[in-house]
Amino acid sequence: MSKIYEELGQFEASLKYHKDYHSKDMEISRDTEIERLKTTQLKAAYDKIEEQKNELVDSIRYAERIQNAVLTRDQNQQNVSSYFVLYQAKDIVSGDFYWYYEKDDSFYLCVADCTGHGVPGALLTMLGTTYLNDIVALNDNLSPAKILELLRQRLIESLSRKTSLDGSHDGMDISLIRLDIGTYEAEWAGAFNPLWVIRKGEEALQTSGPVEHLESEGFHLYEIKGDRIPVGDMEVLQPFTDHQLQLCKGDHLYLFSDGFADQFGGDHGKKYRTGRLKQTLLALQEHDIEQQGVHLREEFISWKRNLEQVDDLCFLGIQV
């Protein structure tokens, strides 16, 4: 427009548009420089955040190696040869753990689900395994219920009383069994988590308490429910219950957290649920215990599909 007015001899109008042009050009140049600076600053901030994230992830992955080493360390395992462990953290490190300890003619076995998951849950698993080792190593002939009570006491002394001001109650749900390898006599106690026993044939499972029963094609699934109290701080510390069981050679025992049954998936994005899990296990009984673990892992992946894993997963099966 400035050039047009100049050619028309209207120099005052030409000058006006010339000034307008330079004013707009300076604004655009300034805005471009601001955007460039913003982009540079954002990139620097992003690079810094990415560096910090990578350092944090590297630290957590190192913690994962430590946790796995603690869970799988050699404990002179002589009494268990047929078993599977399905263990999968939601966030690199897990708030679930499994624990095994042999003493005299018995072995102790448990699966526990600590408060939370990720790093906070993983820290609790370290406390849990350490305290269980101490309790069993320093005491003779402890029943599972007594072990849970001593474990609860140690956790309360270490955590709950000190953190009660923020209303938190750290602890764990757990399923713990002690089995005599000579007589197949067992004692079991649970905090929320149950014990499942699957037996082939018509001989009923002998137990000292109530049991739920499900049958399918000659296999019988017995469920012994845990006490409705956690291993953690409560207003009233109720005692845990010991259950006596007479097992038989060939029985399959299952201890687990709720990560499998609570996983969303399938065609409609719903929970897997406990009932479906029981039917799945009964359908797998023609397979040996190690193959059951392989099939359960495939079932979990198939059910979950592309959905996010909702919780840590720990599922342990053992053949007597």
Would you list the DSSP string of 125-191?
HHHHHHHHHHHHHHSSS--HHHHHHHHHHHHIIIIIHHHGGGT---EEEEEEEEEETTT-EEEEEEE
Give me the pLDDT at residue 167, please. Answer: 47
Give me the pLDDT at residue 312, please. Answer: 94
Q: How many CA atoms lie within 13 A of 144 on its CB side?
A: 30
Give me the pLDDT at residue 75, please. Answer: 56
Query: Cβ contacts of residue 28 below 8 Å, gap of 6+?
Result: none
Q: What is the mean pLDDT of each run of 10 residues along the chain (320 residues)?
A: 89 87 83 81 84 86 83 68 92 92 91 87 91 93 95 86 54 95 95 96 90 93 95 88 95 96 95 96 96 97 95 95
| Burial group, residue 230, by CB count within 10 angstroms (0-12, 13-18, 19+) | buried
- CA–CA distance, 189 with 174 (Å, rounded to integer): 8
- CA–CA distance, 314 with 257 (Å, rounded to integer): 6
- CA–CA distance, 26 with 18 (Å, rounded to integer): 13
Task: Give residue 23's identity as a one-letter amino acid code.
Answer: S
Nearest CA-CA partner of 134 in 169, 113, 158, 115: 158
Q: What long-range pairs does 215-220 form, CB within 8 A, spacing at least 24?
A: 216/279, 216/282, 216/283, 217/282, 219/282, 219/285
- CA–CA distance, 185 with 211 (Å, rounded to integer): 17
Q: Which two tokens stand for residue 77?
A: 């395992």
Give me the pLDDT at residue 116, please. Answer: 76
Residue 88 pairs in a beta bridge with 313
Give me the pLDDT at residue 160, please. Answer: 56
Q: How many other C-beta atoms lie within 10 A of the C-beta of residue 243? A: 22
Q: Which two tokens stand for residue 9?
A: 């001899």
**Which pairing describes strands 264-265 and 270-271: parallel, antiparallel, or unpaired?**
antiparallel
By three-state DSSP, how is residue 318 classified? Answer: strand
Give me the pLDDT at residue 164, please. Answer: 47
Give me the pLDDT at residue 57, please. Answer: 86
Q: How many other C-beta atoms lie within 10 A of the C-beta of residue 316? A: 22
pTM for the structure as a whole? 0.82
